[in-house]
Amino acid sequence: MLNNLNDEQIKGIEVCRDKWIKIGLQTGPINRDAAIVAVNKAYKCAGLEPPKEVVFCSSPLDMDKKIREVSKDQHSFVSSNGFANCWTGWVAFADYFHTYTDVKNLEVFEGLRDLSCNCGFVSFFDTHIFISERPEYIKMDDTGRTHCENGPAIRYADGFEVYIWHGVRVPKSWITDWPDLDQALHNSNLELRRVAAEIIGWAKILDHYQADVIDEDADPQIGTLLRVNIPEVGEEYFLKVLCGTGRTFAIPVPEQDDEGKRIDTALAANAWTYGIKPWEYKPEVRT
Amino acid sequence: MNEVRNRVWSQVWGQVSDQVGDQVWDQVWDQVRNQVVDQVWGQVSDQVRNQVMDQVREQTK
């Protein structure tokens, strides 16, 4: 029984972890010959007959089409997906013991281990196995959410692509052209409506709906407090403010502060965004 | 479907359970498996899998 790890084995934890994170995040073409060898090994290790056919697919969409054809519409990509290079957590767990310890009889997972290095999505069937290519690229924002503001965030070599704004899938036209303001703001999906507003920019939306000025401070960095009636949303309040970098932002603010006092000046609204009282507000001087 | 994956994992699980003590199991589970899942599943799979699947669903309606 392995009850303690020695120094070498402890060092191996980090090496093994980093190796599998890299494999899980890999993009670009797979090695199809190596994938076939791995598939045969995986079925053999599981005590099953290897599939009669290994079907390579250029993307998940292509995989869906091929699975439907072969299964006569009994299965699809979504209903049958069972493995992928990015599902490597437990493979990493087994690989650690196989590589760094004397735990025996783990050869059984070698097929799936090797397949992880040479596959995108995989669907297993008795007579067929469907293996998708990996994406050409996956783009992310600074916080690790899939995102691209001027093209697809995920793209496969055959042209299958997914448009994503900070983790939220959006229609292609919102990225390649611009969301139609009226359509976007009437979208039944609240999250998509929020994303549309972010893409368009609240400052433009407020101009479009001809917001009423409640209070305009002489200092544009303190800003202008606005009230706007957005169809199907109702009356909302915004602070339109010039940032120290020279850009104008519109920030949603509540009608009342945390103590229930009405926010009726731009200064009060600006102070609220910092969680302070109007008399405590001292604008930062940027040089 | 998925019998390959299930059979292999069940055998691996059995072997590791028989030969590895709880403390080492937890250490490797937390520091290898969970961290790979956090990085890869959290960053890629959870998003990419759902987004790719939703996109396929939408295009094949």
pLDDT in tens, A14-57: 999 999 988 888 899 999 999 999 999 999 988 889 999 999 99
Our CA-based measurement puts residue A174 at a distance from the nearest CA of chain B, in whole angstroms, of: 15
Q: Answer whether residue A282 shows pLDDT above 70.
A: no
Q: Answer whether residue A96 shows pLDDT above 90.
A: yes
Per the CB < 8 A criterion, the answer to whether A114 and A83 are in contact is no
- The residues in A 71-100 lying below 8 A from B, measured between CB atoms, are 75-78, 80-84, 86-90, 92-94, 96-97
- The residues in A 176-205 lying below 8 A from B, measured between CB atoms, are none
Our CA-based measurement puts residue B5 at a distance from the nearest CA of chain A, in whole angstroms, of: 8
Q: Supply the pLDDT for residue B1.
A: 60
Task: Name which of A80, A111, A124 is nearest B3 (Cβ-Cβ).
Answer: A124
Between strands A168-169 and A83-84, the pairing is: unpaired
Contact partners, residue A270, CB within 8 Å, separation at least 6: A217, A222, A223, A239, A241, A281
**B61 and chain A in contact, CB less than 8 A:** no
Among A87-91, A130-134, A230-234, B7-11, which is the least confidently predicted range? A230-234
pTM score above 0.90: no
- The residues in B 10-49 lying below 8 A from A, measured between CB atoms, are 11-12, 15-16, 19-21, 23-24, 27-29, 31-37, 39-45, 47-49
Contact partners, residue A204, CB within 8 Å, separation at least 6: A181
Interface confidence: ipTM more than 0.90 = no
Grade residue A283 by pLDDT with cuts at 50, 70 and 90. low
- In the structure, how many helices (H) and strands (E) does chain B have? 4, 0
Per the CB < 8 A criterion, the answer to whether A75 and A68 are in contact is yes
Contact A3 B23 (CB under 8 A): yes
pLDDT for A235-267, tens place per residue? 889 898 887 777 777 888 899 988 888 999 999
Q: Supply the pLDDT for residue A78.
A: 83
Per the CB < 8 A criterion, the answer to whether A141 and A120 are in contact is no
Comparing CA positions, the residue from A252, A251, A201, A209 lying closest to residue A228 is A209
Q: Which residues pair with A121 in a beta bridge?
A: A84
Among A73-82, A125-134, A185-194, A222-231, which is the least confidently predicted range? A185-194
Our CA-based measurement puts residue A39 at a distance from the nearest CA of chain B, in whole angstroms, of: 10
Per the CB < 8 A criterion, the answer to whether A46 and A134 are in contact is no
Please report, rounded to a whole number, the percentage of residues in chain A having pLDDT higher than 90: 51
User: Alpha-carbon dihedral of residues A33, A39, A45, A47, nearest 10 degrees?
Assistant: -130
Let me know if A215 is exposed, middle or buried by CB neighbors in 10 A (0-12, 13-18, 19+). Answer: middle
